[in-house]
Each structure stands twice: as structure tokens, then as C-alpha cells.
Amino acid sequence: MKDKTVVVTGASSGIGEELAVLLAEKGARVVLAARDEVALARVKQRCEKAGGQALIVPTDVSDPESCRRLMARAVEAFGGIDVLVNNAGLTMRGRFEEVTDLSVFERLLRVNYLGAVYCTHHALASLKARRGLVVAVSSLTGKSGVPGRTGYAGSKHAMQGFFDSLRIELLGTGVDVLVASPGFVATPIRARALGPDGKTGHPDVAEEKGARIMDARTCARFILRAMERRDREWVMMPAPRVMLALKALAPGLIDRLAAWKIKNAPP
């Protein structure tokens, strides 16, 4: 990653922040994108202290014009884009039957799915010129449904399908596509989860149910390693990989296991 230009969305906290700092330690030029300019300034300082260059571009990924400006600014500043990390995300918690504000599903799609589509579209020409890499930070819920996560899982399934299709379209261009699928990670996104009423303040209760929680820096290290190898996929931890393999053989069993895992969570 030395001397590579890497655009990271959702870079103001969590996985995006830690990945940006790790990239800076490798000598990358990091373009930091998120809505919170104050938080981005803090991350920029961490990146520069780590030895990399960092550029702040306040961005709302749900706005296609904002995504276009982000990529144009990266190209203007550094001459091109080598890697795009689509990390910006929004989550939801609540059973579908209790949803009172259906607009929450559109909000999830606009950030998690369309935000990645917009950014990738506007970066693609530069990525092709540099035979670059597109990274989609998805989720295990993008591979298998989870109760209480219908909106989030739907947006991540859309993301998975889009990038799987794009990978095939880009065969022979030199551009690779990596889909990273973390599970439970200790990041601020979970504390800001949307609820069935469309309002924030519905924190994830995974810790209370004994789930294994990975810290953001460890997760970022795994993703960076997959980026350096230009892998097509990274799935967090061995147990989920086994479950995904079993899903093709015994989907009903996997459904029951998922329901059992979250059965004590409040709606």
C-alpha cells in the first residue's frame, strides 16, 4: 500500500478509522470521507502521526453528487485512485412486524448499498487506469439472514450481489473486488442503530447474549491483509464460514440456529 491513494468512506470512526490509520502506517495516501468533519480532523492527525498523508473530504455517501465530488477531489489531489474502500454504513435493530416507519429501509439502502454504488461508479475510471482494488465492507448478514435485522440484512445482501456481479464484469481489466464480511465488531455504528420507529438510540445487545465481539483495529488488520493479497472475500472467524457452508446443505437448520442465537433479544 506504500504510495497508493486509498479512499475510505465512513472514515470518522470504527473500522474505517482504524483501517485508515493502518494504511497510513504502510505509507499510503489516505482520503478520509464521512459527514463528521471534526471527527475526520482527528483521524487525519492519527494518520499523519502514523507516517502517511491524509486528505479530508466531508461526504454524504447517500448523495450521488457528494460521491462524485469525493472522487474528483481525490484525483485532483493525488492524480488518481488505487483503492476504494466502501465502508460507510448504517444499521437497524427491530423485528419487521413492529416497524412503524418504513422509510428506515430506504435510508439503509441509500447508505449501505447505493452509497457504495455511487462511490464505485465515480471512482471506476481511475481504478481501471491504475488496475486498482474495490473493497466492500459488508457483513455476515449480507450472506445469511438474521432475525431483527431485516432492513440491514437486505441492504447488505444487495451490496453482496452488486459487488459479486461487478467482479465478473471487471474480469480482465486488472481491477479486483474484495467483499469483507465482519460479524460483531465494537464500533459506534451499533450504538447508533435505527429502531422500528426510524429513530436512533437502539443499541445492539450482542454483548449481553454472549456473542464474540471483535475490536475495530483487529478487524481492520484482517481486512488490510485481505486487501494486500487482493482476495475476493474475507469472512470473519471460522465458525461463520462453517455455517455458510452448511447453509447450502441444511438451510432450515441454519435458520433455526440464527433464531436461537437471538431468541432472548428484545424487539
184 — pLDDT class (breaks 50, 70, 90): confident
C-alpha–C-alpha distance, residues 191 and 202, integer Å: 7
Distance CA 70, CA 225 (A): 25
Q: What is the pLDDT of residue 266?
A: 38
End-to-end CA distance of the chain: 43
Confidence of residue 160 (pLDDT cuts 50, 70, 90): very high
**Chain segment 91-139, per-residue pLDDT in tens:** 888 888 888 889 999 999 999 999 999 999 999 999 999 999 999 999 8
CA distance linking residue 251 with residue 257, whole number of Å: 10
Question: 3-state DSSP call for residue 29?
Answer: strand
pLDDT digits (tens, 9 = 90+) for 185-204: 766 666 677 778 777 665 55
CATH class of 5-236: alpha beta
Q: What is the mean pLDDT of residues 11-20?
A: 96
pLDDT, mean over the chain? 86
| Contact call for residues 262 and 206 (beta carbons, < 8 A) | no
| Predicted TM-score of the model (pTM) | 0.85
Give the span between the Cα atoms of 128 and 130, in whole angstroms: 5
Question: Residues 35, 37, 39, CA angle at the centre, nearest 5°?
Answer: 100
Catalytic amino acids?
152
Q: Parse the chain into domains and list their residue ranges.
A: 5-236, 239-266
How does pLDDT run across 200-257, given as a tens digit for each residue? Answer: 665 555 444 445 688 899 999 999 999 999 999 998 765 555 555 555 555 565 556 5
What is residue 264's predicted lDDT score, i.e. its pLDDT? 42
Whole-angstrom Cα distance, residue 12 to residue 20?
Answer: 9
The amino acid occupying position 103 is S
C-beta separation of 190 from 219 below 8 A? no
Name which of 25-29, 160-164, 203-207 the model is least confident about: 203-207
pLDDT tops 60 at residue 176: yes
